[in-house]
Amino acid sequence: MTTRLRVLDDGAWISVDNYREVRVSELWRLDSDEFCACDLTDLIVENFQTVGVDGSTVEVRVYGQCIACGASGTTGWIPVGRILDGSFTEIDRSVVRHPRPETNS
Protein backbone atom coordinates (compact mmCIF):
# COMPACT_ATOMS: atom_id res chain seq x y z
CA MET A 1 0.00 0.00 0.00
CA THR A 2 1.42 3.32 -1.05
CA THR A 3 0.72 6.50 0.84
CA ARG A 4 0.09 9.44 -1.43
CA LEU A 5 1.70 12.65 -0.27
CA ARG A 6 1.11 15.93 -2.01
CA VAL A 7 1.50 19.65 -1.53
CA LEU A 8 -1.77 21.44 -2.31
CA ASP A 9 -2.95 25.00 -2.88
CA ASP A 10 0.43 26.47 -3.76
CA GLY A 11 2.06 25.15 -0.63
CA ALA A 12 -0.71 25.82 1.88
CA TRP A 13 -1.47 22.19 2.77
CA ILE A 14 0.10 18.78 3.00
CA SER A 15 -2.29 16.15 1.74
CA VAL A 16 -1.97 12.53 2.84
CA ASP A 17 -4.06 10.07 0.85
CA ASN A 18 -6.23 12.98 -0.30
CA TYR A 19 -6.91 14.29 3.18
CA ARG A 20 -5.60 17.72 4.13
CA GLU A 21 -3.60 16.96 7.23
CA VAL A 22 -1.09 19.74 7.86
CA ARG A 23 -1.43 23.42 7.05
CA VAL A 24 0.80 26.46 7.08
CA SER A 25 0.79 29.34 9.57
CA GLU A 26 1.87 27.08 12.38
CA LEU A 27 4.82 27.80 14.63
CA TRP A 28 7.46 25.09 14.66
CA ARG A 29 10.54 24.99 16.84
CA LEU A 30 13.68 23.93 15.02
CA ASP A 31 17.04 22.91 16.34
CA SER A 32 19.06 23.95 13.32
CA ASP A 33 22.42 25.59 12.89
CA GLU A 34 21.73 26.21 9.24
CA PHE A 35 18.56 28.24 9.25
CA CYS A 36 19.53 31.10 11.55
CA ALA A 37 21.80 31.91 14.46
CA CYS A 38 19.21 31.39 17.20
CA ASP A 39 19.69 28.47 19.58
CA LEU A 40 16.17 27.40 18.69
CA THR A 41 14.45 28.71 15.60
CA ASP A 42 10.85 29.78 16.14
CA LEU A 43 9.71 29.16 12.62
CA ILE A 44 6.50 30.48 11.16
CA VAL A 45 5.65 28.01 8.41
CA GLU A 46 4.69 30.06 5.37
CA ASN A 47 4.84 27.61 2.51
CA PHE A 48 5.39 23.90 2.01
CA GLN A 49 7.96 23.32 -0.70
CA THR A 50 7.95 19.57 -1.01
CA VAL A 51 6.90 16.50 0.93
CA GLY A 52 8.42 13.06 1.12
CA VAL A 53 8.66 9.98 3.27
CA ASP A 54 11.70 8.37 4.85
CA GLY A 55 10.73 4.96 6.19
CA SER A 56 7.58 5.72 8.19
CA THR A 57 8.43 9.37 8.78
CA VAL A 58 6.75 12.02 6.65
CA GLU A 59 9.08 14.94 6.05
CA VAL A 60 8.64 18.34 4.48
CA ARG A 61 10.81 21.18 3.37
CA VAL A 62 9.22 24.51 4.18
CA TYR A 63 9.75 28.16 3.47
CA GLY A 64 9.36 30.17 6.61
CA GLN A 65 10.66 32.87 8.89
CA CYS A 66 12.18 32.87 12.35
CA ILE A 67 10.10 35.23 14.47
CA ALA A 68 12.98 35.82 16.86
CA CYS A 69 15.58 37.17 14.43
CA GLY A 70 13.67 37.64 11.18
CA ALA A 71 15.75 35.25 9.07
CA SER A 72 13.78 33.58 6.30
CA GLY A 73 14.45 30.79 3.87
CA THR A 74 13.88 27.18 3.05
CA THR A 75 14.59 24.49 5.61
CA GLY A 76 16.05 21.04 5.23
CA TRP A 77 13.81 18.03 5.66
CA ILE A 78 11.72 18.34 8.82
CA PRO A 79 9.66 15.50 10.27
CA VAL A 80 5.97 16.36 10.35
CA GLY A 81 4.31 13.04 11.11
CA ARG A 82 4.36 9.29 10.78
CA ILE A 83 2.62 6.68 8.75
CA LEU A 84 1.52 3.82 11.01
CA ASP A 85 -0.58 0.99 9.64
CA GLY A 86 -1.40 3.11 6.64
CA SER A 87 -2.71 6.11 8.56
CA PHE A 88 -1.07 9.44 9.21
CA THR A 89 -0.37 10.83 12.67
CA GLU A 90 1.01 14.33 13.02
CA ILE A 91 3.84 14.67 15.51
CA ASP A 92 3.27 16.79 18.58
CA ARG A 93 3.38 20.43 17.50
CA SER A 94 5.30 21.50 20.58
CA VAL A 95 8.30 19.25 19.99
CA VAL A 96 11.65 20.61 18.90
CA ARG A 97 12.25 19.37 15.37
CA HIS A 98 15.60 18.43 13.95
CA PRO A 99 15.99 19.16 10.25
CA ARG A 100 18.00 16.63 8.32
CA PRO A 101 20.57 17.98 5.87
CA GLU A 102 20.00 17.16 2.26
CA THR A 103 21.88 14.08 1.26
CA ASN A 104 21.70 14.45 -2.50
CA SER A 105 21.98 17.20 -5.09
Contact status: 40 vs Zn ion (CB under 5 A): no
Contact status: 44 vs Zn ion (CB under 5 A): no
Using CB under 5 A, pick the residue from 68, 76, 79, 82 that binds Zn ion: 68
Contact status: 67 vs Zn ion (CB under 5 A): no
Of the candidates 21, 15, 1, which has an alpha carbon nearest to the alpha carbon of residue 91?
21
Pairing between β-strand 27-30 and β-strand 96-97 as defined by DSSP bridges: parallel
Contact status: 45 vs Zn ion (CB under 5 A): no
DSSP codes joined into one string, 17-75:
TTEEEEESS-EEEE--TTT-SSSSEEEEEEEEEEEEEETTEEEEEEEEEETTT--EEE-
Contact status: 38 vs Zn ion (CB under 5 A): yes
Contact status: 66 vs Zn ion (CB under 5 A): yes
Closest contact distance (angstroms) between CB of 72 and Zn ion is 10
Q: Which is nearer to Zn ion, 14 or 36 (CB)?
A: 36
